[in-house]
Structure 1
Amino acid sequence: MKNINKILACLVVLGLISTSCSDLEQFNGNDRNISQEQLEVDFQHVGSKYKPIFESIYQYTPAWSYQLQQNLNADVYSGYLTNPRPFVAGANNTTYSLVSGWNNFIWSVPYSNVMNNVDAISALTEGEFPTLHAVALILKVEAMHRVSDVFGPIVYTNFGDLSNAGVYDSQQEAYNAFFADLDTAVASLMADIDSPRFTAFDLSYAGDYTQWVKVANSLRLRLAIRISKADPSKAKTEGEKALSQSLGLLASNDDNFNVNSSLDHPLSVIDNSWGDIRMNASMESILTGYSDGRAESYFDAPTSVAGTVKGVRGGLPLLPGYADELAQKADYIGFSAINDGVHTSTVQLMTSAEIYFLKAEAAIRGWSGAGDAQTNYEMGIETSFEQHGVGGAAAYIADNTSVPADYVDPVNAANSIAALSNVTIAWNGADDNETKLEKIITQKWIAMFPEGQEAWSEFRRTGYPKIFPVVSNQSGGVVDTDIQIRRIPFVDSELSTNPEGVAGAVTKLGGADNAGTRLWWDTGGPNF
């Protein structure tokens, strides 16, 4: 996106188009006229529908679609990245002056390219080819929990039901449905675990259903931890189910849940070609304060200022003294870009390192089967270092003195800010659970980079890591600067086409339809 006006022009065009990228006309044919023999030979009438699902959990291409779907919201709100250019003269998502046209993509991409295709796969496979249906369900949960974690209530159980079209589930109802879909998926895969039927269509595991069961178990544990404050009993039940399933969880970097595509990673375009994203100051504070060896594998050295890495404060307005957006961008574009090793064509959705940190938290919550909290915590760090080819994990794990560093803006001193946390790295069994949790989430946050959606969700759930507030809050008082943004309001496309559904969703939200309202699992209360 070289110019924000290009995005807005595309939005106008897209608003006139009623069909989705998946082209619903392909579902109107009678696929069941294919003979059983032909069906068993290649399954192409089903298999062709998986690729757009894989590539739209977040969308590869065009890159500006991903930029709107995730980069200019969750990637920034997580404290990972920020834009050096103050789009729309500084009144944009990053300063909490939300651009509704941008945010439509958070909703439209997964509904058009994931839910429509999963619905079609389900119609062709449920009951007849249960393992193919099972993988579609896992991908559906992976995609749609992210949507719920942005908006809260979503259309999930009623999707495709003409009698209840547009009726939203509450977030609690959606999460219960996620767990039920994972139950169905795991049972179906376990019943035919060695089937090669999915091999030709699998962009992650070459058709290995054992790996897909591990993904389902790991996803269940992620979602169970997510609701641990809102529904502790359900969380414990689902978490222990994940921890006890016979095939286990993601446990090594060979297990990592990645999407392998021939398409360029959208971050490579947004970062390298457009210069529209750079390291966030919160990431600099934590990585440099800890002398974290992953810093240089995540980010390039700055070209315009001194230092190993250099970040930009989030939520910069158009600052005084600059003639326009591009003049301000020129002063910050030389700060740290993302290292090329991060934005290869492989998209990271879930890593084994994340799972070890989930197990560490499950352990301090007393869940059966979680193992030892310290062992899991340290394994999470080791696995992340190994993933990025970085040495020195043992010394890092033993460091009981390093803390996040103060941030200094060499361009504008007014943006400088003191570190918000003094938490160290080394595990200390004598710490209270809150301190242990801050260590776990801070290290998980580092390890999950660049997956900003999950990082933002965990920040909202726990308050960790302690990331810097925006420089300029232009929400008109809707969002508390210190509490930071909690969600995205329901989008214009839904407000115009499904007003009754949105009205029902707002009643299930538990607050006003704005960016300051907490989601169901974001209780705002104590973590323990």
Structure 2
Amino acid sequence: MKKSCYILFFVLLTGVSCTKDFEEINTNPNSPDKVTNVGLLLPNVIRSAVNSHYDNSYNRGSVAANMLASDYASNFSNWARSDASSYFFWNYYDYIRDLNEVISIAETQDQKSYKGIALVLRSWMFQCLTDLYGPIPFREAANAKLTGISAPKFEQQEAVYAGLLADLEEANNLLGSTNEPVTGDILYNGNMANWKKFANSLRLRLLLRQSERVDPAAAMKAIVENPAKYPLFTSYEDQAALQYLVDRPSNESPFYRSGNGGTNTKVTKQLVDYLKALNDTRLYAYALPTPASSAVDANGNRPDPKNFQYAGDLNGIGNFPDNNLTSPTGMLWMSIQYSPDLASATAGQGIIISYSEVQFILAEAAEKGFIAGGSAAAETYYKNGIKDQFKYYSSRISSNLATSYLKLTPASISVSDSYFTQPAVAYAGTQPQKLEKIALQKWISLYMVGYEAWSEWRRTGFPAIPVGPIGPGYVPRRILYPADEIRINQANYNEAVSWLGADDLKTRVWWDKQ
């Protein structure tokens, strides 16, 4: 066991877990010499990666973006190297290994749709990794079984981004080019048109994120001006979001049976105050009323929901002053341990990239002149992104909530024309003011979407995140590499650090130029 665990580096980069004996390691049931139907590999890859993304939104991502408040996670000195695998996506190399196998088998069997799906999923996982760390193992990563490389070289983020954009272009060309049946696709059930939309939407995310380093105009125009070749999401109904199931426990929302008790993690004061100031009814999706304002009285009765209070807490202050006076996260992320009446196995989805995010990307691109249309087109995209967010959360209101103490119905989360006339929302002012409004609405839309809101804060600077007195005195700008990289892949690790300047939380990744 000691010997097996000592080679943890090989475990991390080849995706083989530390097991009871070496024979078990060498009899991986997902081995390509045992699997000829690559669809058998997809369900676990999709489910596990999305669940990790979803769970880490709660544990770290939304805390760094100041959407959730955690008295532990907001002390950023706790973001130690030992957290890297479980909290910061280094375990994605396990799933990338399986996707490499899918690609290898699909190429052998000329299964273009499977290869296209694997390229999209792998590109998303690599994007998550490089945006957290900067330089990462890329083309040589997770290929020990296929190529014998167990100490992969790191590549600079610029090269990783270029490779991902090329992979997504290839995926777009492959998807739907054949009529082969696809099994194991628990994200889109074999709908190749939606996979193409996912591929191109992800391309837009990457193009905009690197836009301070590489001019995205030509690539963005090529996508936007040729929707027949490069389709994009058309609403929340085709966005990349994993739907959880109630009749199969392994496919339930990861929060449904979790230990989330609604006390250690709260919604932030910044988010709650911002939504309240705008009379933004997404507040009812993102947060629950404070326990003090919604508690039953001596006669077993609750107050009228109109009298419920919503309040956030501050990150970086240590222990929260009073858990009864601050709002837990909303009903989509409730555990049955905290509230059996509100918890749902299916209401929350594991969102990878949403229609709203794509609309905000297009709004910024139009405003900056990367695509045609100028401010008029930007305003349309901006409003589309906001309106669809309300529609999405309205659609997630389950029927049991109408009879719960919240008395929520789909109509509870809606937006009127007057919302868009408010000075803080109206698409008016100078270009910097318009771009700030896009960034803030995009920030709201990225609630519980991995580390995306934090990445957007790093890129745009919005919103301004207050720094609490507990911790290092700053919000991190990247994540530390795992300790095993230092110990076992030292030469390649040292080269990556030389590119960065320092393996430090304050170091900026390549695209973080502001």
TM-score (norm 2): 0.79
Aligned to 1:315: 316
What letter corresponds to residue 366 of structure 2 in structure 1?
A
Amino acid at match of 1:357: F
Question: Secondary structure of the residue that 1:496 maps to in structure 2?
Answer: helix
Shift in CA distance, 229/142, structure 1 to aligned 2, threshold 3 Å: same
- Residue 143 in structure 1 maps to residue 129 in structure 2: no
Change (3 A) 1:119 1:16: closer
Structure-2 separation of matches of 1:252 and 1:147: 27
For the residues of structure 1 that align with 2:264 and 2:181, how far apart are their CA atoms? 42
Deviation, structure 1 residue 190: 4.4
Which residue matches 1:118? 99
Give the match for residue 391 of structure 1: 414
Give the corresponding residue for 1:491: 482
Aligned to 2:338: none
Which residue pairs with 2:175 in the alignment? 189
Counterpart-to-counterpart distance in 1, 2:262 and 2:279? 29
Residue 342 of structure 1, CA deviation? 5.0
Match of 1:283 in 2: 271
**Offset from partner CA, 1:303-349 (integer Å, 9 cap, x none):** 1358632111112225xxxxxxxxx58x3265212222356352111
Matched, 1:350 2:353: yes
Correspondence 1:58-69 to 2 at 5 A:
58-59=50-51, 69=56
1:205 maps onto 2:188 in alignment: yes
Which aligned pairs between 1:307-456 and structure 2 lie closer than 5 A?
A: 308-318=309-319, 331-332=322-323, 335-341=326-332, 344=347, 346-369=349-372, 372-389=377-394, 390-400=413-423, 424-428=424-428, 431-456=429-454
Q: What is the correspondence of 1:154-173 to structure 2 with a 5 Å cutoff?
A: 154-159=136-141, 160=143, 161-162=147-148, 165-173=151-159
| Distance in 2 (alpha carbons) for counterparts of 1:49 and 1:486 | 34
- Per the alignment, residue 520 of structure 1 pairs with 510
Indicate conservation of the 8 Å contact 1:80/1:283, yes or no. Answer: yes
Instruction: Report the residue type matching 1:492 in the other structure.
Output: A
Contact 1:460 1:486 in 2 (8 A): yes
**Alpha-carbon distance in structure 1 between the residues aligned to 2:427 and 2:242:** 33
Aligned-CA RMSD value: 2.8
The answer as to whether partners of 2:74 and 2:315 remain within 8 angstroms in 1 is no
| Structure-2 separation of matches of 1:145 and 1:512 | 21
Contact 1:95 1:470 in 2 (8 A): no
Q: CA deviation at 1:17?
A: 10
- Which blocks of at least 5 consecutive residues in structure 2 are unaligned? 20-24, 246-250, 294-306, 335-346, 395-412
2:206 paired with 1:223: yes
Identity of aligned residues (%): 24
Matched, 1:242 2:223: yes
- Which of these residues, 33, 44, 60, is aligned with residue 73 of structure 1? 60
Judge conservation of contact 1:268–1:340 (CA < 8 Å) in 2.
Answer: no
Over 3 Å counting, the alpha-carbon distance change for 1:335 and 1:78 in structure 2 is same
Query: How far, CA to CA, are the matches of 2:232 and 2:221 in structure 1?
Result: 12
C-alpha distance in structure 2 between counterparts of 1:80 and 1:94, whole Å: 15
Return the TM-score normalized by structure 1.
0.77
Change (3 A) 1:446 1:66: closer
Q: Which residue of structure 2 lines up, in the alignment, with residue 52 of structure 1?
A: 44
CA contact (8 A) 1:382 1:393 kept: no
> 1: CA distance between counterparts of 2:33 and 2:133?
36
CA contact (8 A) 1:73 1:94 kept: no
Q: Which runs of 4+ in 1 moved over 6 A?
A: 12-17, 21-24
- How many residues are matched? 442
